[in-house]
Structure 1
């Protein structure tokens, strides 16, 4: 049973009442709304999305904004594709389509998004690569466009966000390395102004301070989120007069390039330097195995989609308890890359 008319006949109420209940209109009492939603689910009601779009002025498209360049080429296949799968799994239930909004690395992200918004291209937006101060948040808030951010920002418009628990990763990594005797520990951060870099480095600094240690500025390495960035970090680390005995890598794919730089110099992870990173499908082929932090990217995508829909009136009934402002946990996967213990005198 797919037609709204047959759904109304089944419930013995008017088509108008059924339509208003399905569309989240406030002039329908809660008991009627509950009956309509339950019957729609039971009978497999599928709304006519094209007609609904014309009546409501909607597009049934959700945009996922990304920046091309290092964000895509560095981790697009290992991170965003899995997130997209989870997002679209949710949107597919509601006949919504996910479209990637690709902003060139040479264009200002706020200018790009302003152009997209002016065209009325999407009903809602998911923002990634959140900056320390992000003008896109203010733009979407001012235009009253539903959105959620993958990542936090100091620009606060009361929007929901989900972010990876970089603080938890930093704390667990530093505690683990210090317990193994390391005192000179290096970390990496993204090369640009994305907020995760600030969050991660600050917690590493705090974690070291809790052990009476300091994070030296020369041991904070910036890198692009790809193999080339990891290789460059490795070369820079090896050139130091006093090398660190351990390093924590913030991005997924830089471990591959980092391993290559060490290998060329005859330096072995786990034997000569302790390495902790983040999981990527490619990292499983590294030798020695990488001690890393892993998460379910598909589940993260599902949560992003449900959080966004919970802010949109037409879908709010389906997601009354949408996730908001949550740090997404990462699980430590034991490897051999941080096996090195330092014996203090």
Structure 2
């Protein structure tokens, strides 16, 4: 692979002329332009992207910020890898590259992002793990950096967002379980201040109220989004003097830990307690099969990328119909884990 200086020496013309020819400048003779392009092809010329970025004020890099510890452990290896695949499929059309920004669970996300922004290495950003109040949103808005959030937040800067339809999941789950006679229904939520937890709990509360039921606070279990969190939920649930007859799990992988805790106590999902969760590749190995909500993570990644690019002037014309501020649907897949019917009282 040869650089621009080697190309100029080979043609015996100035570096400036070669650069203008490669960039399609009109002040270069057509004959010279053709000579430069032909030589570049034969010599395998590769442009210096960092130098070009400095001149054009762009990097052709998009950052995707995720937090280790809470997101990577458990669901992250399957959830984010599938989302990344969809995102990069779109970026590849425009010769853009995706870089994962990994913020430690021990560091303040806003401070981490402020440091990353100061380096100026990305043209746009995708934020995940949105909090109830999220300082990162205001930071990016003030710096006029294009971004989209995977998740909603009460911090509103008019930014585009996509979020999983947790309201729809809550409503469908509660309606299904109540129709099967359940009156004491437990739910889970993230252990931290993630906004999705507030959304999910509130809709579950509203759905139960519509059936004349209440959501008991002791039946709202917080956990980390991994197998260990699910196991602890199972232990806490089993320790209750009056156990719930059903539980709805908001995270993908906690079902695995929950199944383990129930199994150790001789309690079988689908026979002794109804369980509804979210789909993950691991769910295929659970017995009884998990009734769960499924979505296309690859398609979600495509939508995230197109939504971001639609807000960036250089790409807006390519994505006039990109989804903006949209709830991403989840499909309920029947399994055996919620076959247990409670007696109505």
Shorter-chain TM-score range: 0.7 to 0.9
Structure 1 residue ranges without an equivalent (≥5): 9-13, 17-46
Other structure's SS at 2:300 match: helix
Structure ID, larger Rg:
2
Equivalent in the alignment of 1:291: 291
Equivalent in the alignment of 1:141: 141
Equivalent in the alignment of 1:158: 158
TM-score using structure 2 length: 0.86
- After TM superposition, give the deviation of residue 55 of structure 1 in Å: 2.9
Distance 1:282 1:74 in 2: 11
Give the 4+ runs in structure 1 shifted more than 4 A: 4-8
Do the aligned residues in 2 keep the contact of 1:49 with 1:60 (CA within 8 Å)?
A: no
Deviations 1:170-207 (A, max 9, x none): 00000000000000000000000000000000000000
Do the aligned residues in 1 keep the contact of 2:183 with 2:344 (CA within 8 Å)?
A: no
Equivalent in the alignment of 1:249: 249
More displaced 10-residue stretch of structure 1: 53-62 or 178-187: 53-62
- After TM superposition, give the deviation of residue 344 of structure 1 in Å: 2.0
1:277 pairs with 2:277:
yes
Aligned 1:294-305 pairs, distance under 5 A: 294-305=294-305
TM-score using structure 1 length: 0.86
Aligned 1:289-328 pairs, distance under 5 A: 289-328=289-328
1:96 pairs with 2:96:
yes
Change (3 A) 1:148 1:71: same
Equivalent in the alignment of 1:263: 263
Equivalent in the alignment of 1:335: 335
Compute the RMSD of aligned alpha carbons.
1.9
Distance 1:141 1:323 in 2: 20
Structure 2 residue ranges without an equivalent (≥5): 1-19, 28-45
Distance 2:263 2:83 in 1: 32
Other structure's SS at 2:173 match: helix
Distance 1:180 1:331 in 2: 20
Distance 1:202 1:58 in 2: 42
Do the aligned residues in 1 keep the contact of 2:61 with 2:98 (CA within 8 Å)?
A: yes
Other structure's SS at 1:317 match: helix
Do the aligned residues in 2 keep the contact of 1:49 with 1:95 (CA within 8 Å)?
A: no
More displaced 10-residue stretch of structure 1: 140-149 or 54-63: 54-63
Distance 1:201 1:49 in 2: 51
Equivalent in the alignment of 1:81: 81
